[in-house]
Structure 1
Amino acid sequence: MFSVQLLLVLFAFAHSSTTLEPQKCTSPSTLQGKETSFDYERRFEREALWVYDADREAVAWYETVDLNSTRAAYHDIWLWKERAWFRFNIRTRQCTRRELTLPFAILKVPSNAQFIASRYLGSSAAEGENLLVNVWVAQDEDVWSKYNSERVFTDADCLPVYVAKFRPTSVERSTFFNLTRTISRPDLFVPPEECAQ
């Protein structure tokens, strides 16, 4: 009888430990990878080499953007310590500079986020062919507006996988892949010469 009760307690503990809410996490301080974004309502698509450095408080994109069927290539650099956002048009060699007014946001699960679910991405057909991710929802704000968001991070390393920003008139969805913790292109944080004029 004692062994049956012990088994029931162990089963209940094992079941409860698999349904616990994961801890909110912070991504590694440096990341580089690919990002694709789209917003059907605004007819916007972007493919980019994406670089993130929390210590520098900087994010950069080397991107191709399609907006309303017009294609352009940009090098965007957001440098919070300088409160500067540079947008360099690669074709025209024109550079615009804007002020960044919001504080730098460390890449993490926001403090006001609510846990929704854990899911496996990939296949269960073979070992090591899937990845445990956690889905969170939150209210957020960027340089354009406040919005609700859905964010998906890997369970093991808190790497961003997917972000959806729900605004009153549109939804922007971004997917991250081929991420590394090292930055092989630190030059992407340096504004081109044309931006100094």
Structure 2
Amino acid sequence: MHTRLSFEPSQTLFCDSLRTRKMSAAVALFVLICFTAATHAVHHQPCHSPNMTGIMSVMNLKGETKALGAFTYDSMGKKLRFRSNETFPTNTSLSLDLLMFFEEGIFYEIDSKNQSCEKKALQCTMHPLDIPDDGKFKGMVQTGNPSIEGEGIKLNVWTGPMPDTKGYYYMFSTMGCLPVTTMYFRDSTPLIFSQMNIENEIKDPDLLVVPSFCQGQSVEETPEGTVNSFLNEFI
């Protein structure tokens, strides 16, 4: 048995909605609601999300899609695979295949077509699929219509600073600790990460294994001043 958090309508309609610039106004309203909810905050401890398979979209505050693709997340092993423009091709600016090992502090940029990859060190392990241990609970919001069964969802709101930057984040998770949307506000490029069609299982464990053509590769030297992280791959 597994839990499925599914968002409709169809993929086509979803992609169309991603491209609309009206998203900026929607995000602004969402943040305003959260600020209101924060006045009623009570003490909560951050939880950790379960294993997940689903779809992730990355947008900027103008409503422009940066990436859209499938992800697999191992909560216990702290491993993440994200492949954009492969499972769900769309008109985005980035095509990525990332295999992240947050516990080990390394990640791979994979090019399956050319059977090549780059192995790099992680300077920052923050990502939108788990609530940071130092996250602060700000309140709870109810989306949709809470008076009609099946048409509302309760979301916890978490916030905190972003390491090595002057930025901060707002993360919205279900009562079961499934992150739904995370907004990162930073000096350069504010980003919105959204997860959809979530299932609480690892459907293909092989996706979290280093490909044979990447094995034995040494870690590339990180240029001075560079901070490698999952988030920075979308800037």
Larger radius of gyration: 1
**Match of 1:148?**
168
- The question of 1:113 aligning with 2:131 is answered no
Note the 1:46-195 alignment, pairs <5 A.
46-64=67-85, 71=93, 73-102=95-124, 107-108=130-131, 110-115=133-138, 117-124=139-146, 126-141=148-163, 145=165, 147-154=167-174, 156-195=175-214
Residue pair 2:52, 2:198 contacting (<8 A) in 1 also = yes
Q: Give percent identity, aligned residues only.
A: 19
Q: TM-score by structure 1 length?
A: 0.72
Distance 1:111 1:131 in 2: 25
| SS of match in other structure, 1:193 | coil
| SS of match in other structure, 2:206 | helix
Residue pair 1:72, 1:91 contacting (<8 A) in 2 also = no
Distance 1:119 1:81 in 2: 32
Residue pair 2:52, 2:73 contacting (<8 A) in 1 also = yes
Q: Deviations over 1:141-194 (max 9, x none)?
A: 28xx5631111111x201101111111121011111111211102111112222
Q: Which consecutive unaligned segments of at least 5 residues does structure 1 have? A: 1-18
Query: Where is the strand percentage greater, Structure 1 or Structure 2?
Result: 1
- Tell me how many residue pairs correspond in the alignment: 171
**1:109 to 1:21, Cα distance in 2 relative to 1, 3 A:** farther
Q: Which consecutive unaligned segments of at least 5 residues does structure 2 have? A: 1-39, 218-235
**1:39 to 1:158, Cα distance in 2 relative to 1, 3 A:** same
- For the aligned residues, what is the CA RMSD? 2.9
Distance 1:50 1:77 in 2: 10
